[in-house]
Amino acid sequence: MEVALTPLDFARRTRALYADREALVDGALRLTYAQFFDRCDRWSAALQTLGVKQGDRVAYVAPNTHAQLESFYGVPQIGAVLVPINYRLHHDEIAYIIAHSGSTVVCAHEDYLDAVDRVRDQIPGVHHFVALEGRRDGRLRAEGASASPAEARVQPERAEAGWLDYESLVAGAPADFTRPAIEETDLLTINYTSGTTSRPKGVMITHRNAYMNTVGTLLHVPMRMSDRYLWTLPMFHANGWTFTWTVTAVGAAHVCLRKIDPVKVFELIRAEGVSMLCAAPTVLIGVAHAPADVRSRAPRGVRVVTAGAPPAAATIERIEGELGWTITHVYGLTETAPFITVCEPRPEHDALTPADRAVVKARQGVELITSGDLRVVSDDGKDVPRDGATVGEIVVRGNVVMKGYYNDPEATALALRGGYFHSGDAAVVHPDGYVDIRDRLKDVIISGGENISSVEVEGVLLRHAAVQEAAVVGLPDAKWGEAPHAFIVLKPDAIVSGDELRAFVRDRLAHFKTPHSVTFLAELPKTATGKIQKFVLRGGRAAIAAQ
């Protein structure tokens, strides 16, 4: 009687119970769940016609659209593995992920067709390119051939030369496809995240991982079929924190938002009756500082889940106090599917002042019922005391922890050593058991919910002819939570401006990785063994200048 735990089972239930309910709103497009799943099924059939088999990888570069949401069902239900890519990355980084994952099909929104075209020579393993929106003049289009699955089957060389049209493929495919047997330990997605290395790592998320995170989310952040969820969070980001499946599981409605604009957020909340959304702290800051006339018309009672970086208590206080919304702070990592803690409200919190309650809500909180055993341990592996002061590393084991890093056994062994996933995040535990992150053990900068590798940015800076030494750290930023700042030692007699160095990085990496400022120093602070003391740099530019 055992059946595989997979979020696809939520789709099975919703098909049966909520077929006539509105599933999705994407601009003028509105789909019921019956229509939505029919499109997913046709996309599954089209993929199989294109030669996609169980275990094959299908990459996506797209914002929050109906086609992106359909990928979370159409790809995995044929046993293929979805690779959702951060569209904010540099085109070379996108190429690396496509090649490293072994993706054979790439699907891209029209805004990113150029980026993919620029790196075709770097991704020879890709057999088909699919334009989710927009048109592309390849030989296929130029010769006037159709983009149906049949055309792709009989003339694959022509299909590969151009871009196939997604809507034509869906419309021309049958609603039936071959459903393979899927085990809960099978890969569902590979989500790439940059750590402290210069290359992103592919986090292997299984069907069981996603299922357990979805159930845990619904236990701690309940949703109802009457809810309408606004997609402010990118779907590529840890599978939209698994809300790609969570919203569907209860028969609620997905309301797509393709680009973050605080005014548009408020407009959609009013027009579509939005009751819930997820947002990184940087998005919350934008919402909190939207024009006063816009905020004054905001409906009250919206529930917000925030994660990605510790939110500022002042932001929480302002949104809850002024807008009448309720914020729930959760914490996790891509490697944990992603949630492992939730700042669970307690009755005693109600007696606190709004300011004190906001301070508590900014903590990471306690483990979810389904997330497994979470500990904060010292270097010797022992639990730190619950004194709110002793710092240790957050480690966790359980059903939400990744299968490992794709094609990276060394990184997998290091991260999962001792039977626990090591987060690299340093935290304290308060007497009530609530975890509170104080710093990171690794030099990852979390800016607006995006991970930035300081090593990667330093590597680019060191390629500049005028740079002798470079160190990049995250410093507090009012909008992004923290932002990368570069400390530079120039070569003798070299002259270059900070703006020139920032432009140099911007041309070679995703724009959000560009240092917000550059400080020039005669020398970097170092230990006796020559290691750069980044904790000194984090003290701020003024402190450095005063030394």
User: Does the structure show a pLDDT above 80 at 398?
Assistant: yes
Tens-digit pLDDT profile for residues 241-289? 999 999 999 999 999 999 989 999 999 999 999 999 999 887 887 888 8
* Chain position carrying tokens 């390849």: 138
Domains of the chain are 35-185 (3.40.50.12780), 260-440 (3.40.50.12780), 444-546 (3.30.300.30)
Share of the chain above pLDDT 90, in %: 71
Q: In DSSP terms, which residues pair with 439 in a beta bridge?
A: 426
Distance CA 267, CA 414 (A): 46
User: Does the structure show a pLDDT above 90 at 463?
Assistant: no
Alpha helices in 251-338 (DSSP H): 262-272, 281-288, 292-296, 313-318
Check if the beta carbon of residue 415 is closer than 8 Å to that of residue 421: yes
Closest listed residue to residue 54, CA positions, set 30, 80, 18 = 80
Tens-digit pLDDT profile for residues 130-181? 999 986 554 333 333 344 443 444 334 334 458 999 999 999 999 999 999 9
pLDDT at 453: 72
User: Does the structure show a pLDDT above 60 at 440?
Assistant: yes
Q: Which two tokens stand for residue 248?
A: 């569907």
SS3 state at 489: strand
Check if the beta carbon of residue 469 is closer than 8 Å to that of residue 485: no
Distance CA 361, CA 316 (A): 8
Check if the beta carbon of residue 86 is closer than 8 Å to that of residue 192: yes
Share of the chain above pLDDT 70, in %: 90
**Band (410; pLDDT cuts 50, 70, 90):** very high
pLDDT at 197: 46
pLDDT at 355: 85
pLDDT at 305: 97
What is the secondary structure of 157-193 as a DSSP string?
HHHHHS-EEHHHHHHHS-S--------TTSEEEEEEE
Check if the beta carbon of residue 58 is closer than 8 Å to that of residue 75: yes
pLDDT at 318: 84
User: Does the structure show a pLDDT above 60 at 64?
Assistant: yes
**Band (182; pLDDT cuts 50, 70, 90):** very high
User: Does the structure show a pLDDT above 90 at 51?
Assistant: yes
Distance CA 68, CA 62 (A): 6
**Band (198; pLDDT cuts 50, 70, 90):** low
pLDDT at 134: 83
Instruction: Pick the range with the lowest mean pLDDT from 276-280, 305-309, 455-459.
Output: 455-459
The answer to whether the bond into 338 is cis (omega within 30° of 0) is: yes
SS3 state at 409: helix
What is the secondary structure of 436-447 as a DSSP string?
EEEEESS-EEEE
